[in-house]
Amino acid sequence: MKIIEETPYCFRIEREGGMRVPGIVFASRELLPDPSVDKSLDQVVRVATLPGIVAGSYAMPDLHWGYGFPIGGVAATDVGDGGAVSPGGVGFDISCGVRLLAADLDRDALMPRLAALMDLLDHAVPRGLGRGAVWRVADRSQLEQVLAGGSRYAVERGHGNARDLRRCEDLGAVAGADPAAVSARAEERGLGQLGSLGSGNHFLEVQMVEDVYDEPVAAAFGLRAGQVCVMIHCGSRGLGHQICSDHVRAMQTAMPRHGITVPDPQLACVPVDSPEGRSYMGAMAAAANYARANRQLLGEAARRAFSDACGARLDLVYDVSHNLAKIETHEVAGTPRRLCVHRKGATRALPPGHPDLPPDLADAGQPVLIPGTMGTASYVLTGVRGNPAFDSACHGAGRTQSRHQAARAVRGKELRNRLEAAGIAVRGASWRGLAEEAPSAYKDIDAVIAATEGAGLGRKVARLVPLGVTKG
């Protein structure tokens, strides 16, 4: 492929073969994937062949290989021009995302109670493969209310407050959810996991605001230097995974009827406005609502632990997804167009004044939540005007090693001892789970944020460092 460096933070992959648009990679030279070990740039090229894709096949600074789409991939298709939706552009963990809550206490006040707090969180937060839930859903009828209502339904049932919904993407629930498009097997997997972290890179982390770069915006978000925060990273668990699997298979069967061929079966897709496309969009929205309710319940578990251990309150800063396809209107070549924007390992980054922002964030922009890996910093950014990728930004540090490679490089117990020697309390579900998420398995989060800012995808507001982590 021919790659042209357009700016220090933007690289262009010229069109060739079946590409309908160029590839646009936002990265520094340091962060560009090595094609000999990471085939994600090849995936950027293949995504550029999707029916109806417009402007470019975009990649964020945390780009790495994924299923079909690269993780850190963004692509928009024109719904009115046969634009396709692809489950590979959302991923298996539908609406995996991040929730940030801010406490009304500082680090110095927390430290004498940190061990007790972490023990409470260790007990209160179900995690690991298929293990437990904060809220045992009574039956499928109640589960379908969760699928339709998301965080709103959880709050109606007493799990949170009205302000939580104002500080949540889509006010807590994605419109258009269709529980009827969710298979019985997906529902079965979802019944026992509502309010749980799962495994892999999911976590609940107690953090401190170490640096503030924009005090007025930080204040609008509810953040200040020295403050304790809680960051939660999880998604739709087995329910979302099953929905993705079900609809990939359905689309692979349906593509010939729509005259669609793709260079990789993992890019299975159909027109958004086809029966199969509408079915997937409805099921995906239902899984997104499950994920929103999941994070809402985990946030409530954290609130109870903070209250019991420290007498402290937690207020929601924001909750945003980073695995979703959304119907949005954007200008393309000067004309507003109705697009299906796929963000896989990428988050929305709405600028000040955007109509989807709550009134108290209208002047500041959207909080963009970007976790680092275990033991490293996380960042809060804000959206900026003129974002070149449909108001999208990166979602994390981005892997450089597979979980198997990471687990071979360090033992979980050794890693925990290292982190605790650095003053970070660790509560893990398994030694292997800790080893798989070692900091050495990820890109440098500071470099990723520098590239994100340099590419005009967002602006730094605050840097958060870990005090304690609960891992799946």
- Catalytic residue numbers read 395
Q: For residues 21, 29, 391 and 69, what is the CA-based torsion angle, rounded to 10 degrees?
A: 50
- Tokens representing 444? 């440098």
- List of long-range contacts for 219-222, beta carbons under 8 Å, 24+ apart: 220/360, 220/361, 220/363, 220/364, 221/102, 221/317, 221/318, 221/361, 221/364, 221/367, 221/380, 221/382, 221/461, 221/462, 222/102, 222/315, 222/317
Q: How many CA atoms lie within 13 A of 398 on its CB side?
A: 33
Handedness of CA 256, 260, 264, 267 (dihedral sign): negative
User: Distance between terminal CA atoms of the chain?
Assistant: 39
Residue 253 CB contacts under 8 Å (≥ 6 apart), including other chains: none
Q: For residues 449, 451, 456 and 458, what is the CA-based torsion angle, rounded to 10 degrees?
A: -10
Q: Using CB atoms within 10 A of its CB, is residue 386 exposed (0-12), middle (13-18) or buried (19+)?
A: exposed
Q: For residues 7, 11, 12 and 16, what is the CA-based torsion angle, rounded to 10 degrees?
A: 150
Asked whether the beta carbons of 291 and 227 are under 8 A apart, the reply is no
Q: By C-alpha distance, which of 88, 72, 75 is closest to 33?
A: 72
Asked whether the beta carbons of 103 and 228 are under 8 A apart, the reply is yes
Q: By C-alpha distance, which of 168, 174, 98, 167 is closest to 395?
A: 98
Rounded distance, CA 262 to CA 320, Å? 30
Residue 160 CB contacts under 8 Å (≥ 6 apart), including other chains: 151, 154, 296, 299, 300
Strands (DSSP E) contained in 96-246 are 97-106, 203-212, 227-234
Rounded distance, CA 190 to CA 192, Å? 6
Q: φ and ψ at 48, to 5 degrees?
A: -65, -5
Three-class secondary structure of residue 427 per DSSP: strand
Q: Which residue has the tokens 């979602």?
A: 395
Q: By C-alpha distance, which of 151, 152, 170, 169 is closest to 318?
A: 169
